[in-house]
Chains A and B, each alone.
Chain A
Amino acid sequence: MPYGLKVFDSTGNNVRLDTTDRIIRFVAFYTGTTAANSTTTISVSGMTNDGTWGLNDDAYGNIYAALAIGSGQFTHTNSSSISVAYKIQVFKI
Chain B
Amino acid sequence: MSFGIQCSNSSGFTQIDATFDNVAVFASGTMNSSFFGGTLTKTSFPANTPSDYLIFCKPNSTSGTKALTLAAFTDGSGFAFFEVFGSTTTSSVDWVIAIRSRDMPANNNPDFGLEVYKQNGEEAFSSNNQNFRCLQVSFDTIVSGNQSGATFSLGSMTNIYSLMNGKTIIGRQPINNNQSTLMSLFVEFNFTSQTIKSLGLPVTLFGPGSSVVGGGYKTNLIGVFG
Q: Interface residues, chain A, CB within 8 Å of chain B?
A: 3-5, 7-10, 14-27, 29, 51-52, 54-58, 60, 62-68, 79-80, 87, 89, 91-93
Q: Are A23 and B134 in contact (CB under 8 A)?
A: yes
Q: Interface residues, chain B, CB within 8 Å of chain A?
A: 7-11, 13-17, 20-23, 51-52, 54, 72, 74, 100, 111-114, 127, 129-135, 137, 139, 142, 163, 165-167, 169-171, 212, 214-219, 221, 223, 226
> A17–B165 Cα gap in the complex (Å)?
24
Instruction: Using known A-B contacts A22-B134, A62-B167, determine if residue A56 contacts B219 with beta carbons closer than 8 Å.
Output: yes
Residues of chain B contacted by A19 (CB below 8 angstroms): 9-10
Q: Are B216 and A65 in contact (CB under 8 A)?
A: yes
Instruction: Using known A-B contacts A26-B21, A63-B214, A65-B216, determine if residue A20 contacts B9 with beta carbons closer than 8 Å.
Output: yes
**Cβ distance A45 to chain B, nearest Cβ, rounded Å:** 10
**Cβ distance A1 to chain B, nearest Cβ, rounded Å:** 10
Instruction: Using known A-B contacts A16-B130, A66-B216, determine if residue A52 contacts B21 with beta carbons closer than 8 Å.
Output: no
Q: Could you jot down 30 A-B contacts, CB within 8 Å?
A: A8-B112, A8-B127, A9-B112, A9-B127, A10-B111, A15-B226, A18-B133, A19-B10, A20-B9, A20-B10, A22-B13, A22-B15, A23-B9, A23-B15, A23-B16, A25-B22, A26-B100, A51-B137, A54-B219, A56-B163, A56-B166, A56-B219, A57-B217, A62-B169, A63-B171, A64-B215, A67-B216, A68-B217, A89-B166, A93-B137
Q: Are A60 and B74 in contact (CB under 8 A)?
A: yes
Q: Are B135 and A22 in contact (CB under 8 A)?
A: yes
Residues of chain B contacted by A5 (CB below 8 angstroms): 7, 15-16, 114
> A3–B12 Cα gap in the complex (Å)?
11
Residues of chain A contacted by B21 (CB below 8 angstroms): 25-27
Residues of chain B contacted by A58 (CB below 8 angstroms): 72, 165-166
B110 and chain A: residue at smallest CB distance = A10
Q: Are B218 and A56 in contact (CB under 8 A)?
A: yes
B5 and chain A: residue at smallest CB distance = A5
Residues of chain A contacted by B137 (CB below 8 angstroms): 51, 54, 93
Q: A5-B15, A93-B221 are in contact. List 14 more A-B contacts (CB 8 A).
A: A4-B7, A17-B16, A22-B223, A23-B9, A23-B131, A23-B133, A54-B137, A56-B165, A63-B170, A63-B171, A63-B212, A87-B51, A89-B165, A92-B20
A26 and chain B: residue at smallest CB distance = B21
> A87–B54 Cα gap in the complex (Å)?
12
Instruction: Using known A-B contacts A55-B217, A89-B54, determine if residue A24 contacts B167 with beta carbons closer than 8 Å.
Output: no
**Cβ distance B11 to chain A, nearest Cβ, rounded Å:** 7
Instruction: Using known A-B contacts A7-B114, A9-B113, determine if residue A66 contacts B215 with beta carbons closer than 8 Å.
Output: yes
Q: Are B23 and A24 in contact (CB under 8 A)?
A: yes
**Which of A10, A25, A52 is within 8 Å of B112, CB to CB?**
A10
Instruction: Using known A-B contacts A67-B217, A68-B217, A89-B52, determine if residue A22 contacts B133 with beta carbons closer than 8 Å.
Output: yes
